[in-house]
Amino acid sequence: MAGGGTAPAMKMSDVFILLGVTFLVGGLFIHGLVSPIPINADTEPYSNGASLLNGDTIEFTITAENDSSVDVEILNAKGDVVLGESFFVTSENSISVSFEADEKGFFSYSVEFTEGSGEVVVDVDRKLLIDFIIYPLGIVCVMFGFAKRKDEKMTEIMDAVLESSD
pLDDT by residue, tens only, the chain of 166 residues = 566 677 777 888 999 999 999 999 999 888 887 889 999 888 899 999 999 999 999 999 999 999 899 999 999 999 899 999 999 998 888 999 999 999 999 999 999 999 989 999 999 888 887 788 999 999 999 999 999 998 888 877 766 666 777 6
Residue ranges of domains in the chain, CATH in brackets: 12-153 (2.60.120.380)
Entry pTM? 0.71
Residue 108 near residue 49, CB atoms below 8 Å:
yes
- Residue 148, CB half-sphere, CA atoms under 13 Å: how many? 14
Residue 19 burial by CB count (10 A; 0-12/13-18/19+): exposed, middle or buried? middle
How far is CA 129 from each of CA 55, 65, 73, 140, 143, rounded to the nearest angstrom? 11, 33, 25, 18, 22
Helix, coil or strand: residue 124 = strand
pLDDT value for 139 = 96
